[in-house]
Structure 1
Amino acid sequence: MNTPTAASHNRLQHFPVAFFSSVMGLAGLAMALQQGEAILGLPRGGGYVVTIVSLIVFALLAVLYVMKAFRYPEAVAQEWRHPVKMSFGATITVSLLLLAGATLGLWPTLSYVLWLVGAALHLLVTLYVLNAWIYKPGFEITHISPAWFIPVVGNIVAPIAGVTHAGPETGWFFFSIGLVFWLVLFTIIVYRMIFHQPMPERLLPTFFILLAPPAAGFIAYLKLSGALDGFGRVLFHTAAFIAMLLALQLPRFARLKFFLSWWAYSFPLAALTIATLLMFHATGVGFFKIVYYLLLALLCGVIALLLTLTARAIAHNEICTPEQ
């Protein structure tokens, strides 16, 4: 029988790096509220509070993951070698880039540090993962899921704060990486979904990640180009169509048991919410304003649900346990 200390150590050993996807969702909500405050005059304070919460959650998760790395280095190494789990490792660096965006208008110096560290580390993660995909044996088509977007296509979010901190050329560098590999991986993932066995239930929520590249890409592209043009419209309306396709799958998602992968619903939805508001700001079409309010309400509800389910799963020892 395990003592409480031994049990806590054992749970630390199984602490999943995918936990950082919660920070991505919270930071996305913070930016969605901030944009609403700036463009539509929403009551101020919500974006600030959620930004603080995002920073606290990231700090807590970072401490736990560093402790895991010191106490169970082989467990961390296995995670970063695993053909599925390694993609979730990039949630750490993408979280830093999103936190840089969330803090940009509040604490510019903190935003700069977060972006600099996040961008440098994310570039290294991108190179590491691509190298692993090319040279490591044992990778099969059934290992791929939309989570594979995170390490490589995650570069597409770097310009959101990077244009301010490092200039347009650096922003275009990261945007180009994310855009090109989005198209490559999207093709492979569609092939896998059509011609191979369905993904396991615990990975089904990652389908929502399909929404993130065009939605976040639209936000980044507006930052880089400074105006809405034809390509920006292509990105936005691609995101809108993928959202419609995902909406058809909601009954299937609703039947799933809660997994930590449910946090994959959050950031893509936040990115679409922000993109819709920016589309309203650029075009003045009132329909986009209405859709923004609806998406913002849905996003707040989803984040509240995810926080509740995650807290309950932690309390019932359903997270940080060996996989069955």
Structure 2
Amino acid sequence: MTDQTTHAPLAPPEDRLEHFPITLFASVMGLAGLALALHAGGTYLGWGPVFARFGLALAVVDLVAVTLFYLWKLLRFPQAIAAEWRHPVKLNFFPAIPISFLLVAAALRFEAPLVAAPLWAVGAAGQAALTLAVISAWIGPRGFGLAQVNPAWFIPAVGNVVVPIAGVPLGFVEVSWLFLAAGLVFWLALLPILLLRLIAEPPMPTKLQPTLAILIAPPAVGFLSLLLLNGGVLDAGARVLFYAALVFGALAAAQLAQTLRGAFALSWWALSFPVAALTISCFRFAGIAGSDGHGALGVALLVLLIGIISGLVARTLTGMVRGEICRPE
């Protein structure tokens, strides 16, 4: 009996490149977050840097590959880049590019600080420029409705809290304070808008549901950045940010347990970095406070993170082989 199933032929590689998604930079963020989480776990548990180096290698390879493909797309299909900029959702993923550089720099500083420093500088400059550009687009004449707001809006503005993670150890303290202040202020401004949208408007499309995990990242990364800037002191502000991250983690888990049953989409990568940030936060809190409970939570989250990343990598590679990734939406 012959198989009658037919598949549409794959487009030539050059044509598929036109649809290379900017959201793939979220995979770099996730893998860099994994490297940082493995380093934090290794420090807390006494494993050493072996596993963290493996995670770093994956993140660097992914950053180089995704960046080169996107640059190629920019050179060959600038109109496709312009269309992404005009898209109400994809617009907010442009700052994922410099954030990817910042996170890889943060992981790389343990092994090669001389390489991490210029990489951080490029990421910080790009983050500053894209924060201004995206926020200007939000408040410009094009206009956005409340129903178009989604957690990805945190990436352009609140992504600034990532800068101190490598900025402080590399010696850029005042610049790090500047970025942290901007990120936290925009987090406090955008959070009520996002909550209003989630409460008062119809549910987000299924493809965007995984972005609910992004709610975890601002307080978790803000906690880590504040610790670096205040010398590792667990003051009231740091504790509020840490426990806010735990609350949003529980909220996201409750919501996503009901929604992550549909077809795979690259938006699922939104799960990875927030879980990594919360994992690192638990290890840092446990190390400073001497709390075994927080350390155990960090271990549980690290196991979860490894499972999430493994599944996402496998599903993304499968999608690429099948031609499901670089295609028109």
The TM-score bracket by the shorter chain reads over 0.9
Question: Offset at 1:23?
Answer: 0.5
1:107-118 paired onto structure 2 within 5 Å: 107-118=112-123
Say yes or no: does 1:120 pair with 2:125: yes
Task: Report what 1:239 is aligned to.
Answer: 245
Task: Report what 1:315 is aligned to.
Answer: 321
Say yes or no: does 1:213 pair with 2:218: yes
Task: Report what 1:278 is aligned to.
Answer: 284
Cα distance in 2 between the residues matched to 1:314 and 1:225: 44
Task: Report what 1:24 is aligned to.
Answer: 29
2:267 maps to which of 251, 258, 261: 261
Task: Report what 1:148 is aligned to.
Answer: 153
- The letter of the residue matching 2:41 is G
User: Which secondary structure state, in structure 1, belongs to the residue aligned with residue 275 of structure 2?
Assistant: helix
Question: Offset at 1:3?
Answer: 8.6
Task: Report what 1:225 is aligned to.
Answer: 230
Task: Report what 1:64 is aligned to.
Answer: 69
Q: Judging changes above 3 Å, is the alpha-carbon distance between structure 1 residues 250 and 195 closer, same or farther for their aligned structure 2 residues?
A: closer
Question: Offset at 1:168?
Answer: 1.9
Question: Offset at 1:258?
Answer: 0.6
Counting matched residue pairs gives: 322
Q: Judging changes above 3 Å, is the alpha-carbon distance between structure 1 residues 3 and 230 closer, same or farther for their aligned structure 2 residues?
A: closer
Cα distance in 2 between the residues matched to 1:149 and 1:250: 18
Task: Report what 1:160 is aligned to.
Answer: 165
Deviation string 1:203-233 (CA, Å, 9 cap, x unpaired) is 1100000000001111111001111101100
Higher mean alpha-carbon deviation, 142-151 vs 263-272, is at 142-151
Cα distance in 1 between the residues matched to 2:27 and 2:9: 30
Higher mean alpha-carbon deviation, 37-46 vs 95-104, is at 37-46
Higher mean alpha-carbon deviation, 200-209 vs 248-257, is at 248-257
User: Which secondary structure state, in structure 2, belongs to the residue aligned with residue 257 of structure 1?
Assistant: coil
Cα distance in 2 between the residues matched to 1:207 and 1:247: 9
Question: Offset at 1:167?
Answer: 2.7
- The letter of the residue matching 2:247 is F
1:78-89 paired onto structure 2 within 5 Å: 78-89=83-94
Q: RMSD over aligned Cα, in angstroms?
A: 1.5
Cα distance in 1 between the residues matched to 2:94 and 2:256: 27
Cα distance in 2 between the residues matched to 1:250 and 1:132: 30
Higher mean alpha-carbon deviation, 298-307 vs 313-322, is at 313-322
Cα distance in 2 between the residues matched to 1:291 and 1:150: 26
TM-score, structure 1 length as denominator?
Answer: 0.96
Higher mean alpha-carbon deviation, 103-112 vs 31-40, is at 31-40
Question: Offset at 1:39?
Answer: 2.9
Deviation string 1:219-266 (CA, Å, 9 cap, x unpaired) is 111001111101100000001111111221243233121100000000
Task: Report what 1:171 is aligned to.
Answer: 176
1:180 maps to which of 164, 182, 185: 185
TM-score, structure 2 length as denominator?
Answer: 0.95
Task: Report what 1:95 is aligned to.
Answer: 100
Cα distance in 1 between the residues matched to 2:122 and 2:17: 25
Question: Offset at 1:72?
Answer: 0.4
Cα distance in 2 between the residues matched to 1:26 and 1:128: 26
Task: Report what 2:299 is aligned to.
Answer: 293
Cα distance in 2 between the residues matched to 1:214 and 1:174: 14
- Runs of 4+ off more than 4 Å: none
Cα distance in 1 between the residues matched to 2:172 and 2:45: 27
Cα distance in 1 between the residues matched to 2:262 and 2:273: 19
- The letter of the residue matching 2:14 is H
User: Contact 2:32–2:100 (CA<8 Å) still a contact in 1?
Assistant: yes
Cα distance in 1 between the residues matched to 2:227 and 2:289: 13
Q: Judging changes above 3 Å, is the alpha-carbon distance between structure 1 residues 238 and 258 closer, same or farther for their aligned structure 2 residues?
A: same
